[in-house]
Structure 1
């Protein structure tokens, strides 16, 4: 199985380890037990909690997927978990870790996504990040990537920082994407309180090769494991027009955390990741967006990588063909969960 690395020499991995060691910071987190912060979202029978309540396993089988939701809404925050994905043939399987307020703001909801897409046996998992603000679901801001490791062999930490100023997506303390809020974004920047979700579900209609590869339940159950649960932010009542909770101090505290600003070394890590493992970006998709979305910062070295469709110009990265981007059809998850935008047929 390839994960975007053609050279697997000991020297390569030694250099990679040293690179990651010196360009990342180990964040300090307060982890939570499941009962302290989460509730079942759907299919309790497919949710397994460890005896110490620090780990939760979400199962997908022929009967249902499963999901959990934070017990509270947060007005900005840092959301993180160590996640281990299913192995074997995972075509059609989607595991999502994301924030949303669709239950309260059905027509103008906000959302920030990390969404993992399974693959046929022997092919690697892929994942995407996305952002919606104020119901802008027809204007998804997808970016899609591969990983330098096999996410089904060990747990890795995935995090979403969301502040009034910026949003940063992290993989193992490496910043992989930053969205800096600006005036031109207006309501497209998520700004209403959101809950945190984690789900696994059957996305056979679109997730693998445009829906050609379906979930094969011969391999059930598909198990995704979540541990080291982190929820940091100001808890609010999303239905109150004027919040009874003053979040000023909590937001100020969030903004001075080590993960709220990308250091110069962090920028090098992000550049390394994006130039090696990103294979689609809406910022370079001039077919969908003749004018790039207002949050986009065009980086010349990235611009050179992509066609007008936002997909890679060459087959050089991952040793396989990359289909041209096509807009997929939206599907609905079980109640209270919504598919995060229009997804390319991969």
Structure 2
């Protein structure tokens, strides 16, 4: 990892020896998390760049996670963006969606954001909401609820990232470098930090934080819930539907081969016109 000259950004590199990444010093209750990201150019098949929230280092079997993953591709083929939501270790029930981006993410930085509140998760690209996952009683523990840290990484995803693993990372085309800058963290810190506490102690600290520091974070939660990023107006929903119609390649909501019964947050009846655009395995027509 290499810091920029002004100290406001970092460069993460993947080479044949290792990937790289960073983690925030603290774990956070719900908040708004954002970064400007520039992706590697040229042939990037198998490369995965990620900006995400997770507590997997602490809760290995019951972890929560919110993902913005960028999936590399062959030369002259476009990067893919993938979003995902896990709660309480629900990794066997992945909630993936994949999209093309309406710009070249290697030519300039673009802003990618995650809004995580007690009511919904909203993913943003350049200020446009692209996916909303509303919380419901039916989701139960599948909705992320424990404090999470902020991560950024670049790594080798040859087994799955490009055409289901058909194209691997070619290290003769490397090294591969992603740039992150303009990091925004608007969340109430939980007890403990991600800088090296013993995992068992940190697990106890985060458990205590989850149970006892809600009052301390109540003001931050109210501020979050009344912020523009947490409020889905009719205009924002219309913009989101338009973006999804143009850019979405896959959604788990219409993958009836994988999940015959749709997830509770998938309003498939209200989105019948959208559903007709996808095959029964969730891929766009």
Q: Which residue of 2 aligns with 1:259?
A: 229
1:143 aligned onto 2:97:
yes
Q: Which residue of 1 aligns with 2:141?
A: 187
Q: Which residue of 2 aligns with 1:243?
A: 212
1:292 aligned onto 2:246:
no
What CA distance in whole angstroms lies between the structure 2 residues aligned with 1:102 and 1:67? Answer: 15
Gaps of 5+ in 2: 192-205
Contact in 2 for aligned 1:93/1:207 (Cα 8 Å): yes
Equivalences for residues 270-309 of structure 1 within 5 A: 270-298=240-268, 299-309=271-281
Secondary structure (helix, strand or coil) at the match of 2:35 reads: strand
1:48 aligned onto 2:2:
yes
Higher strand share: 2
Q: Which residue of 2 aligns with 1:225?
A: 179
Q: Which residue of 1 aligns with 2:197?
A: none
Runs of 4+ displaced beyond 4 Å = none
What are the superposed Cα offsets for residues 134-193 of structure 1, whole Å, 9 maximum, x if unpaired? 110000000110011010001000000000001100000000000111111111110110
Secondary structure (helix, strand or coil) at the match of 2:223 reads: helix
Pick the aligned partner of 1:215 from 169, 177, 182.
Answer: 169
Secondary structure (helix, strand or coil) at the match of 1:306 reads: coil
TM-score normalised according to structure 1 size: 0.76
Gaps of 5+ in 1: 1-46, 315-346
Equivalences for residues 64-143 of structure 1 within 5 A: 64-143=18-97
Secondary structure (helix, strand or coil) at the match of 2:30 reads: strand
Secondary structure (helix, strand or coil) at the match of 2:244 reads: helix
Q: CA deviation at 1:52?
A: 1.9
What are the superposed Cα offsets for residues 197-238 of structure 1, whole Å, 9 maximum, x if unpaired? 100001111111222211111221111000110000110022
Say which structure, 1 or 2, has more relative contact order (CA 8 Å, 6+ apart): 2
TM-score normalised according to structure 2 size: 0.91
What are the superposed Cα offsets for residues 221-271 of structure 1, whole Å, 9 maximum, x if unpaired? 111000110000110022426334621111011001111012222112111
